[in-house]
Amino acid sequence: MSRKLAFASLLAAAAAQGAGNQQTETHPKMTWKRCSAPGSCTTVNGEVVIDANWRWLHLDGGTDNCYDGNEWTGCSSESECTSSCVLEGADYTKTYGAKTSGDALSLQFVTKHEYGTNIGSRLYLMASQSKYQMFTLMGNEFTFDVELSTLDCGLNGALYFVMMDADGGTSRYSSNTAGAKYGTGYCDAQCARDLKFVGGKANVEGWKPSDNDANAGVGPMGGCCPEMDVWESNSHSSAVTPHPCETVEYHVCETTNCGGTYSDDRFAGGCDANGCDFNPYRMGVQDFYGAGKTVDTSKEFTVVTQFSEGLIYQFFVQDGVKIDMPNTTVQGVEGNKINEEFCKNQFAAFDDRDRFNEVGGWSKMNEALRGEWVLVMSLWDDHYANMLWLDSSYPPEKASQPGGDRGDCPQDSGVPSDVESQHASATVTYSNIRFGPIGSTVEV
Ligand SMILES: *[C@@H]1O[C@H](CO)[C@@H](O)[C@H](O)[C@H]1NC(C)=O
């Protein structure tokens, strides 16, 4: 073996999906509480990191872009881009509109900055500078306060868990040297194909720039893992949704086998892209959630979510009053909890394919809940379906049919260009995160 080869591979290892040095990466600090019993919580000093996909990606050793707008520009092959492109540090407030203060994180939707315009963001809670904070959900309760009065139709303030690796993938994929410190290793139940790096490799060969999103595209590989959507919401609608996968950890899918949002057949992958959702409006209770309703979205409230074997239950606290999730009024579906019976009955009542069970159902979801999860806090708009699946009638032909109506937003709302121009300053604030055994995080 020649010396030259050894040297070349050493270089590659140093640069591959590595970190640049134009801007120091300094994570905003954010506290949260670990609870053991009601009134008995201790403060944890955490920090947050923005996802790698939002970062400036440029050629190592200079400032030439690797990726610009929605296209790869500085390199062309998987191996070349993987070895020569680096992720940059972030200016959280100026570039991304993300700010922390004490126990609160606020995300502003559109932020104009020196180099362009940022739309939305996705941040992860960290335990240290280079490790995500991991949460085992089974048997526990996750609680936070949210202020989302400015999130109108088409926006989604989403707080959820995904089974990312704690180190962002550095130990699983040696070509990833940036790791969690730079927000790498995202995955979800859509088997995300809009990521510039998947499994430590550049997702460049066959990358298709989006025709309606100036910043995004779809590549050949997708990052898959179970997803627990604790909270997908705006001021009109909310949903809590478990999404199991056959494989209960981070894994990579290829092209059409990925399924989900980014593939022709959304049922093709090994994850349940749709999930078993509880959206009170969709479950027939239209006066429960919204501005001036039982849970009044014009002001702050608390969301409590409990996880146990085969059972997920969410309730709310507002102005010191506990507000239970309402029972469904849909014919053939009962209760206010997500469990095996609810999911089975809901899919039947709404004539939806039971992908949940096809990928393993509660046996896989329970296995996932017993594992470790990363907390995601995000704000986004939807270039595929205008968020109508959350807050309006979807699919359009199912309007006023069982399961078709999900919120009071008009069918022509949520178009990203409209939302981005009309609600640029929309902001969601997540605060006062508490985590501990069921019953430990709130006193009501
Ligand atoms: C749901 O229905 C059950 C059984 O009728 C009832 O005991 C419970 O109070 C109801 N829950 C709510 C939130 O209305």
Which pLDDT score is estimated for 269?
Answer: 93
Which pLDDT score is estimated for 74?
Answer: 94
Confidence of residue 159 (pLDDT cuts 50, 70, 90): very high
pLDDT > 80? residue 4: no
Q: Is 232 a catalytic residue?
A: yes
Mean pLDDT across 251-272: 94
Q: Residues 233, 279: contact at Cβ < 8 Å?
A: no
Active-site choice (205, 232, 246, 358): 232
Q: How far is the CA of 130 from the centre of ligand 1 (A)?
A: 45
Determine whether the shortest distance from the Cβ of 327 to ligand 1 is under 6 A. yes
Which pLDDT score is estimated for 264?
Answer: 87
Q: Is 227 a catalytic residue?
A: yes
Which pLDDT score is estimated for 17?
Answer: 82
Residue 357 per-residue DSSP state: H
Q: Residues 413, 422: contact at Cβ < 8 Å?
A: no
Question: Residue 140 belongs to what H/E stretch?
Answer: strand 140-147
pLDDT > 60? residue 101: yes
The 10s digit of each residue's pLDDT in 301-358 is: 999 999 999 999 999 999 999 999 999 999 999 999 999 999 999 999 999 999 999 9
Residue 177 per-residue DSSP state: -
Q: Residues 203, 66: contact at Cβ < 8 Å?
A: no
Of all protein residues, whose CA lies closest to atom 4 belonging to ligand 1?
A: 335
* Strand-strand pairing, 295-296 and 289-290: parallel
Determine whether the shortest distance from the Cβ of 336 to ligand 1 is under 6 A. yes
Torsional sign, CA 332, 141, 158, 246: negative
Q: Residues 32, 433: contact at Cβ < 8 Å?
A: yes
* Strand-strand pairing, 18-19 and 85-87: parallel
- What residues contact residue 264 under an 8 Å CB cut-off, 6+ apart? 256
What is the overall mean pLDDT for the chain? 95
Active-site choice (227, 334, 341, 420): 227
Which of 289, 294, 328, 336 has the most ligand 1 atoms within 8 A of CB, as the residue to mutate?
A: 336
pLDDT > 80? residue 9: no
Determine whether the shortest distance from the Cβ of 324 to ligand 1 is under 6 A. yes
Confidence of residue 16 (pLDDT cuts 50, 70, 90): low
Atom of ligand 1 nearest to the CA of 324: 13
Cα–Cα distances in Å, from 116 out to 54, 56, 86, 136, 401? 12, 11, 19, 38, 43
Task: Kindly list the domain boundaries of the chain, sorted by start residue.
Answer: 27-55+91-437
Q: Residues 93, 150, 428, 242: what is their CA dihedral angle, to the nearest 10 degrees? A: -140
Atom of ligand 1 nearest to the CA of 326: 13
Residue 278 per-residue DSSP state: B
The 10s digit of each residue's pLDDT in 377-423 is: 999 999 999 999 999 999 999 999 999 999 999 999 999 999 999 99
pLDDT > 90? residue 229: yes
Q: How far is the CA of 128 from the centre of ligand 1 (A)?
A: 43
Residue 307, SS3 per DSSP: strand
pLDDT > 70? residue 222: yes
- Calpha distance 110→204 (Å, rounded): 27
Confidence of residue 11 (pLDDT cuts 50, 70, 90): very low
Which pLDDT score is estimated for 5?
Answer: 40
Question: Residue 8 belongs to what H/E stretch?
Answer: helix 3-15
CATH architecture group of domain 27-55+91-437: Distorted Sandwich (2.70)
- Calpha distance 354→276 (Å, rounded): 9
Which pLDDT score is estimated for 7?
Answer: 40
Determine whether the shortest distance from the Cβ of 326 to ligand 1 is under 6 A. yes
Of 14-18, 328-332, 360-364, the one with minimum mean pLDDT is 14-18
Atom of ligand 1 nearest to the CA of 335: 1
Q: Residues 213, 223: contact at Cβ < 8 Å?
A: no
Q: Where are the beta strands (DSSP E) in 15-113?
A: 18-19, 29-37, 40-50, 57-59, 67-68, 71-72, 85-87, 98-101, 104-108, 110-113
Q: How far is the CA of 239 from the centre of ligand 1 (A)?
A: 19
